A = this chain, B = another copy of it.
Amino acid sequence: MTTIRGVANAAGSGGNGAKRPSVNLDDVSKTIIELLQHDGRKSYASIAQEVGLSEAAVRQRVQRLLDADVMQIVAVTDPLQVGFQRQAMVGLRVSGDMTSVADALTEMEEVSYVVTTAGSFDVLAEVVCENDAHLLELLTSRIRPLPGVTATETFVYLKLNKQLYNWGTR
């Protein structure tokens, strides 16, 4: 059994063999996350000064948070600005097990975001495509034929108005 101050692991893995630990964060880790949400390249030393720990301790905590998949430090782009002409949200209605559909969508590289929801759609998937032909092929040949999918609705993006990730922690 593993028990950490900042990150308490619990056996919460889902269907696929990947890691999905449910976590419990203390105030220091929350502050570290919030600082990195504003600037992913902020130095460990300056973070340490703000949270009152040594530089090495901050480094270890950040590594732990990354390993536990609580956060990821990445460059986020607006797809429309980097050459992807078609982006869309696809709502799916599913009969039976939603998990297998969600897992199948997760496997597709064009799919950037998958959530299971309560509402008139059971699953929402965000897809990033190069052009209309690519989007059409993805929808008709790979998403709609998935077993259990009874209906889909596609919302093509016209403009990305806001894209933020610094919502903090609670």
Residues of A within 8 A of B (CB): 22-23, 25, 30, 33, 36-41, 69-79, 81-84, 88-89, 91, 102-103, 105-106, 109-121, 124, 128, 130, 153-170
Contacts and interface: CB of A to CB of B under 8 A. Distances in A.
Nearest to A157: B115
Contact of A155 (B117, B154, B169): B117
Given A154-B119, A161-B115, A76 B81 contact: no
- Give the number of copies in the complex: 2
Contacts of A75: 33, 36-37, 40, 71-73, 165
A72 B76 contact: yes
A121 B90 CA distance: 12
